């Protein structure tokens, strides 16, 4: 099984260094394991280049079957866990960057109190990466913006929240712009790949094309600081307001009805036997997000 896990990582990354990092081993150690696997089956699985590796024809077919085996083994482990009472072992969950900084700390604290035997393994990444890892059983569940609309995944809504407009402090008394007016302003948004960016663009422009006067940032924190410096305006989710506006000279405005909003939810594979446990975790998340909203 160790050989299969290492080879699966190498087949996905096509790079010994990145695969070793994922497996939490040194690159030479991973290389030795791959050579041992090739010796066991009596054939080469990998073509080794100076910068990148390629799978042989056998390696490609082997990787596909190895992934299915690892997936099945993980489901067996989950089935066993589902009969052992309180959650224990590893819980590998993903969370998108526009939620993680505002929810993760409280979630880990509460989960540690409720399930002391649970080994939490959070991973922050964009939605596309999280869904891929979830479908390939490298994650147990993920906290993302809904809907995902993937038939093999179950979705459960946790929180609906509106977007708010941030402007420079000196603009606090100006009229709140509508979507058409926002198209003429310098709008600061997250870089491509973030679902929050797409939702913001959709509100500003029904054609879902980026506004003409657009600047990008890698995080909500960066966008807020740019607004405070007078560079433009931005939209952020309600849960981010308290954290991100503490150290920036910005004004907060609620957009006219119907205001843009998003639904944050939890998703997991329908085939996972830990559904009842995931529902317990979802209830904890709902209580945390409900408290966040009441404090706002």
Per-residue pLDDT of the chain (296 residues; tens, 9 = 90+): 899 999 999 998 888 888 898 888 999 999 999 999 999 999 999 998 767 788 999 998 999 899 888 888 877 877 776 666 557 778 999 999 999 999 999 999 999 998 888 889 999 999 999 999 998 888 999 999 999 999 999 999 999 999 999 999 999 889 998 888 888 888 898 988 788 888 888 887 755 555 556 778 889 999 999 999 999 999 999 999 999 999 899 999 998 888 889 999 999 999 888 888 899 999 999 999 988 776 66
Instruction: Provide the CATH number for the domain around residue 23.
Output: 1.10.10.10
Domain boundary among 22, 55, 80: 80
Same domain, 63 and 195: no
Q: Is residue 179 within 8 Å of 224, Cβ to Cβ?
A: no
What distance in Å separates the CA atoms of residue 262 and residue 171, rounded to the nearest whole number? 26
What was the pLDDT predicted at 249? 92
How many other β-carbons are positioned within 10 Å of the β-carbon of residue 63? 18
Same domain, 125 and 75: no
Same domain, 191 and 57: no
Same domain, 71 and 100: no
The CA–CA distances, whole Å, from 9 to 17, 69, 100, 213 equal: 10, 14, 25, 41
How does strand 233-237 pair with strand 153-168? antiparallel
Same domain, 144 and 251: yes
Same domain, 140 and 40: no
For 52, the domain range is: 2-80
Same domain, 31 and 97: no
Task: Give strand pairing partners of 111.
Answer: none
With b for 16 or more beta-carbon neighbours within 10 A and e for fewer, the 83-106 pattern comes to eeeebeeebbbbbbbbbbbbbbeb
Same domain, 129 and 194: yes
- Dihedral of the alpha carbons of 100, 102, 108, 109, in degrees to the nearest 10: 170
* Terminal Cα distance for the chain, rounded: 48
Same domain, 74 and 97: no
Domain boundary among 18, 53, 80: 80
The pTM (predicted TM-score) of the whole model is 0.75
Q: Is residue 239 within 8 Å of 162, Cβ to Cβ?
A: no
What distance in Å separates the CA atoms of residue 189 and residue 97, rounded to the nearest whole number? 14
Q: Is residue 232 within 8 Å of 189, Cβ to Cβ?
A: no
What distance in Å separates the CA atoms of residue 177 and residue 181, rounded to the nearest whole number? 5
Task: Give strand pairing partners of 154.
Answer: 268
Same domain, 192 and 288: yes
Same domain, 187 and 260: yes
What was the pLDDT predicted at 3? 92
Instruction: Provide the CATH number for the domain around residue 108.
Output: 3.40.190.290
How many other β-carbons are positioned within 10 Å of the β-carbon of residue 217? 20
Domain boundary among 80, 101, 118: 80
> How many independent structural domains does the chain possess?
2
How does strand 261-269 pair with strand 153-168? antiparallel
Nearest to 35 by CA among 53, 18, 50, 22: 53
What distance in Å separates the CA atoms of residue 8 and residue 66, rounded to the nearest whole number? 7
What distance in Å separates the CA atoms of residue 218 and residue 232, rounded to the nearest whole number? 15
Nearest to 221 by CA among 202, 197, 240: 240
User: Who's near 293: CB < 8 A, 6+ residues apart?
Assistant: 159, 161, 238
How many other β-carbons are positioned within 10 Å of the β-carbon of residue 235? 26
Same domain, 209 and 94: yes
What was the pLDDT predicted at 215? 79
Sole residue written with tokens 């799978």: 55
What distance in Å separates the CA atoms of residue 92 and residue 288, rounded to the nearest whole number? 19
């Amino acid at each position: 099984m160790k050989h299969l896990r290492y080879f699966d990582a190498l087949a996905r990354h096509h790079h010994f260094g990145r695969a070793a990092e994922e497996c939490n081993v040194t690159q030479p150690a991973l290389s030795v394991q791959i050579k041992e696997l090739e010796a066991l089956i009596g054939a080469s699985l990998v073509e080794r280049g100076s910068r990148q590796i390629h799978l042989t024809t056998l390696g490609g077919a082997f990787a596909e079957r190895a992934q299915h085996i690892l997936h099945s083994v993980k489901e067996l482990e989950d089935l066993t866990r589902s009969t052992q009472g309180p959650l224990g072992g590893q819980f590998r969950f993903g969370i998108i960057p526009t939620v993680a900084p505002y929810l993760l700390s409280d979630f880990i604290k509460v989960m540690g109190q409720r399930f002391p035997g649970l080994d939490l393994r959070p991973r922050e990444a964009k939605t596309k990466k999280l869904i891929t890892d979830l479908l390939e059983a490298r994650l147990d569940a993920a906290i993302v913006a809904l809907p995902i609309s993937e038939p093999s995944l179950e979705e459960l809504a946790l929180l609906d929240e509106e977007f708010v407009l941030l402007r420079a402090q000196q603009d606090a008394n100006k009229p709140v712009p509508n979507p058409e007016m926002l198209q003429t302003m310098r709008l600061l948004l997250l870089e491509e790949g973030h679902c929050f960016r797409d939702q913001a663009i959709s509100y500003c422009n029904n054609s879902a094309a980026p506004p003409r006067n657009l600047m990008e940032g890698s995080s909500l924190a960066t966008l807020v600081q740019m607004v405070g410096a007078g560079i433009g305006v931005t939209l952020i989710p309600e849960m981010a307001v308290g954290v991100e506006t503490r150290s920036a000279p910005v004004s907060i405005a609620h957009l006219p009805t119907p205001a843009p909003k998003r639904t944050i939810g939890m998703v997991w594979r329908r085939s996972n036997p830990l559904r009842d446990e995931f529902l317990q975790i979802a209830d904890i998340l709902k209580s945390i997000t409900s408290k966040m909203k009441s404090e706002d």
